[in-house]
Structure 1
Amino acid sequence: MANDLGVVGVIERLWRYPIKSTGGERLRSAEVDARGLVGGRLYAVRDAEGRFGSGKTTRRFRRMDGLLHLSSRYPGYPRNSPEPGPPELLDPHGKVVADPTAYLRTFLGREDLELAREGEVSHFDQLPLSVLSTATLARIRQEVPDVPVDERRFRPNILVRTPPGTPPFVEDAWIGRTARVGDTLRVEFLRSSERCVMTNQAQQDLPHSPLILRAIAAVHGNRLDALAGIVTPGTARIGDVLELL
């Protein structure tokens, strides 16, 4: 599939995470604006200090183990809507909860939590868009053959199906390049993600394993994916070509 035009693969899966640090929703297509996938990480679990639930503790984030057992989705908002309404929160069995804030307080055992929409402080750890290749995903699977691994551990927005023979960590070659996705979307790859213990954490049918982060550290300096900023908003769809310009 690689050629002189710079085609590196096609979109195999699209993921959006309406509530930061919860499981996401798979989409057939997604609108992408300057902020990223429309509605992505627009909501987060916030504590009394104003920190957002995450897999790590920093100035903006607080580690809240258990969020990955939950998931979130937007229940079918119109394509011409500028922004989806509040997301649904789903429990570990996939059932929609009636009161997300009340449920989160009970589930996480903290009374100072609330589900909050993004305000002046960004919910993003880094850049708007994370892109991961199947070649890289396959290499991580080789490193930990006894541990179930799929892209959910790494929370990309776009999983790109790369052709046979593509080397792992091909994303490194994208850094500093602009790419076209489908007909209109243009992105600029700027750097990769430095991974944290969130990759090890259990979620739904994926068990906890410290081997995941160790493998990434050993084979690729603890970095995985390509992070991009948005140059021209547009639409991403399953089957769209990713072409380096």
Structure 2
Amino acid sequence: MLIGRVERLRRYPVKSLLGEELSAAEVDERGLAGDRGRALLDVETGRVASAKNPRLWAGLLRYSAAVATDGGVAITGPDGCEADEAELSEALGRKLALIAERPPGATVERAVPEEVLAHGIAAEVPVTVNELGRAAPEGGFFDFAPLHLITSSTLAAVGAEAERYRPNLVIRTEGEGFVENAWVGRELTIGPTLRLRVVVPTPRCAVPALRHGPLPRRTEALRIPAERNRLVPLEGMPELPCAGVYAQVLAPGRIEPGDGVRLAGVRPIGVRLN
């Protein structure tokens, strides 16, 4: 059943930096080619730097990354000039190292979203420590699974730009509200061969509310999911504000904007948690 079409493709070569728009993409079990292949490591703590803890790392969203022609990454600062680890370290006030391999048990700090809403983005609020990539193959710096999808219906419901939610695919859909909630546990086919399993709704942290390059802070980008779409992503977790869904790749393929998105039947999820 056709449920929508791919509207946009985006990748984020360095975790928590701004990403780039694509006209086509190859997707395999590790996700969209070149996506989240690198991250910045806080040398002092050994944790991956993430804007999920905005008090420390909101400034990362002033920088952007693109895949370079040699397969590396090119980082651009807010002044439009090339930036390196030294500049990022100075700007963020902590020594950072750009890494291409995920350390065993790599973790990030995540500010509690309700505390951010109550006390503000810059406040020192409680954080949780989360392991990266619990439903992703080895390698890469994914929060959970290797693909993140969001629909135009959800973006309309929250009244916010897709860039704030950092999806790989924006899917143009009919209907109102958070329509992708109904895809969890089901399979999608996109384009000629790509096949996905939607595994969980995407819990939202402080990141959508932050400034993203030229986009100003927008608290509603977190507050509206917190008010209208609180879900339990996995058994044992509390209800959390959600927008979008995570997916695993069952069969690889090449996709581009305009490709049809089709919904298949219910399948066992089989999420790998360890």
Please, which of 84, 90, 101 is the counterpart of residue 106 of structure 1? 90
Please, which of 20, 39, 47 is the counterpart of residue 44 of structure 1? 39
**What displacement does 1:26 show?**
0.3
Whole-Å Cα distance in 2 between the matches of residues 12 and 95 of structure 1? 30
Whole-Å Cα distance in 1 between the matches of residues 186 and 220 of structure 2? 32
Call closer, same or farther: CA 1:63–1:180 in 2, change over 3 Å. Answer: farther
- Residue of structure 2 equivalent to 1:232: 251
What SS does structure 1 have at the residue aligned with 2:182?
helix
| C-alpha contact 1:56 1:63 (8 A) present in aligned 2 | no
| C-alpha contact 1:54 1:64 (8 A) present in aligned 2 | yes
1:119 matches 2:102 = yes
**What displacement does 1:240 show?**
0.8
- Residue of structure 2 equivalent to 1:81: none
- Residue of structure 2 equivalent to 1:86: 72
Code of the aligned partner of 1:132? I
Give 5+ residue unaligned stretches, structure 1. 1-5, 78-84, 142-148
- Residue of structure 2 equivalent to 1:205: 214
RMSD: 1.7
What SS does structure 2 have at the residue aligned with 1:206?
coil
Q: Deviations over 1:105-126 (max 9, x none)?
A: 122122x211111234452111
What SS does structure 2 have at the residue aligned with 1:64?
helix
Please, which of 138, 157, 163 is the counterpart of residue 152 of structure 1? 163
What SS does structure 2 have at the residue aligned with 1:50?
coil
Whole-Å Cα distance in 2 between the matches of residues 115 and 231 of structure 1? 30
Code of the aligned partner of 1:209? R
Please, which of 177, 182, 196 is the counterpart of residue 168 of structure 1? 177
Code of the aligned partner of 2:86? A
Whole-Å Cα distance in 2 between the matches of residues 241 and 76 of structure 1? 30
Whole-Å Cα distance in 2 between the matches of residues 241 and 88 of structure 1? 32
| C-alpha contact 1:74 1:86 (8 A) present in aligned 2 | yes
- Residue of structure 2 equivalent to 1:146: none
| C-alpha contact 1:104 1:114 (8 A) present in aligned 2 | no
1:128 matches 2:146 = yes
- Residue of structure 1 equivalent to 2:28: 33
TM-score by length of 2: 0.76
**What displacement does 1:63 show?**
4.7
| C-alpha contact 2:56 2:92 (8 A) present in aligned 1 | no
Q: Deviations over 1:62-106 (max 9, x none)?
A: 9512011111001346xxxxxxx2110011133323xx2112112
Code of the aligned partner of 1:71? S
TM-score by length of 1: 0.84
Give 5+ residue unaligned stretches, structure 2. 105-131, 133-140, 231-240, 265-274
- Report which stretch shifted further, 115-124 or 235-244: 115-124
- Residue of structure 2 equivalent to 1:15: 10
Map 1:182-197; keep pairs closer than 5 Å: 182-197=191-206
